Amino acid sequence: MQKTVEGFSKLSKEEKIDWIAHNCTTNPERTKTTLAQYWNHDRELQKTHDEFIENTLTNYYLPFAVAPNFLLNGKVFTIPMIIEESSVVAAASKAAKFWLTRGGFKTTILGTEKVGQVHFIHHGEKNTLIDFIKEITPRFYEGTEAITRNMKKRGGGITAISLRDKTEGLQGYYQLHCTFETLDAMGANFINSCLEQFAKTLKEEAAKTALELEVIMSILSNYVPNCLVRAEVSCPISTAKGDTTVSADFAKRFVQAVAIAKSEPFRAVTHNKGIMNGIDAVVLATGNDFRAVEAGVHAFAAKDGNYSSLTHAEIKDGLFTFWIEVPLALGTVGGLTSLHPLVKLALEILQNPSAKELMQITAVAGLAQNFAALRSLVTTGIQKGHMKMHLLNMLNQLGASEQEKRQLVDYFKERTVSNASVKEGLELIRKQ
């Protein structure tokens, strides 16, 4: 049974590691060696990493990869991706290459509105509250002038403040529903600072008029249905093979596969998880908050009352079209963007995009990922390509030598990869 500890955060890094090694692991020296292996040899850089969060022991590495050949609105991008799943980058690259000769990806920003709320309880007359909020609304803007000044200079700021009656779901519950434009910043700190000032103003003004209300909390929302981007691909359908067409049979099966994900939640969850493979990988690479993005995207997938596909497909007038509309609240300034060297490099690889451009790039990565998955599902099946990407991981787990790896990669070019078949193939080589 592990021990409790007082003042852990106040210990030095070495003291933290020593405590963990001796109280939470069976081999303290091995634990210390493992943690030290992943430290950066540049002490200043390691110090920067250590200060990102509290109680840091070491760095956790994930592969930093790129998927090239994305033609987006007539401009070619190489997209950085951070992810541990072996088939994701290969699938994205394959989809990018497929659409490179078919017009590429087209994107449109549908909105950039972000949301925050002040949640409060009021049991008095609704009309009295409505009049009160209407009267003090100018003071909300006045109270946040110091916070919003620089953002307004750049064209952003608070875009609206409205009272929402939520008493149908919870007795006495109202909220100030506030919307913001944060430009290239993700804007979490900006929004929360504004909201806390709104709450302060609300309480002060209510006290002056003896209006009874209780502010419960003030916080941004990660559900941003109006911070929306659309990405799509399309090409003609033909019965003949050609670089600028897809077959009628393929298009029909593809559209049907999307329709299934629209109507069946069990399928929709896996379908959308595949989209998020691409989106999360770019969000991580660019230092954005993938948990916030995930939460908002999945809420959007259920916005009509049933969890459904984020992507859509149709055949109309001889044209196959596949598209996604997805909420993405992203930033290219602030946070880790100026601190983490690999985040700065990722943004440089993307040609230093604005937040709007990053929204479009990220949506395209998700659409490409979904296209690659569905293309496999309706043709060869998912396992053929997926398991081949896992082959090297399996061989490493089995302790295969470099020569054995080369032989088995060649051996499985025309064979089905599975845990059993890889183990059998390795044993066969070793017997020979």
pLDDT in tens, 231-268: 999 999 985 555 567 889 999 999 999 999 999 999 99
What's the CATH number of domain 114-221, 3.30.70.420, 1.10.2020.10, 3.40.630.30, 3.40.50.2000?
3.30.70.420
Q: Can you tell me the distance from the alpha carbon of 213 to that of 163, in angstroms, rounded to the nearest whole number?
A: 14
Residue type at position 373: A
Does the predicted TM-score (pTM) go above 0.85?
Answer: yes
Q: Can you tell me the distance from the alpha carbon of 232 to that of 103, in angstroms, rounded to the nearest whole number?
A: 10
pLDDT in tens, 132-157: 999 999 999 999 999 999 999 999 99
Number of H helices and E strands in the chain, helices first, is 15, 11
| Confidence bin at 388 (pLDDT 50/70/90) | low
The domain segmentation of the chain, as residue ranges, is 8-50, 65-110+231-379, 114-221, 385-431
335-341 contact pairs (CB < 8 A, 24+) = 335/186, 335/287, 335/288, 336/52, 336/287, 337/286, 337/287, 339/48, 339/52, 340/48, 340/52, 340/287, 341/45
* Average pLDDT of the chain to the nearest whole number: 93
Check if 184 is active-site: no
Pick the catalytic residue from 177, 340, 386, 405. Answer: 386
HSE, side-chain direction, 13 A CA sphere, residue 206 = 19
Q: Can you tell me the distance from the alpha carbon of 306 to that of 268, in angstroms, rounded to the nearest whole number?
A: 10
Check if 386 is active-site: yes
Provide, rounded to the nearest whole percent, the portion of the chain with pLDDT above 70. 96
Pick the catalytic residue from 13, 49, 50, 85. Answer: 85
Pick the catalytic residue from 97, 166, 273, 340. Answer: 273
Structure tokens belonging to residue 183: 């430009």
HSE, side-chain direction, 13 A CA sphere, residue 165 = 10
Statement: residue 179 has pLDDT above 80 = yes
Check if 289 is active-site: yes
The mean per-residue pLDDT over the stretch 399-408 comes to 81
Q: In CATH terms, are 65-110+231-379 and 114-221 the same topology?
A: no
Compute CA distances 284 → 176, 306, 353, 363, whole Å.
32, 28, 15, 14
* Chain centre to alpha carbon of residue 59: 21
**Nearest to 67, CA basis, from 333, 346, 322:** 346
The CATH classification number of 65-110+231-379 equals: 3.90.770.10
Can you list the positions of beta strands (E) in 249-317? 311-316
Q: Can you tell me the distance from the alpha carbon of 169 to that of 175, in angstroms, rounded to the nearest whole number?
A: 12
Check if 294 is active-site: no
Q: Can you tell me the distance from the alpha carbon of 220 to that of 203, in angstroms, rounded to the nearest whole number?
A: 19
pLDDT in tens, 191-231: 999 999 999 999 999 999 999 999 999 999 999 999 999 99
pLDDT in tens, 310-356: 999 999 999 999 999 999 999 999 888 888 999 999 999 999 999 99
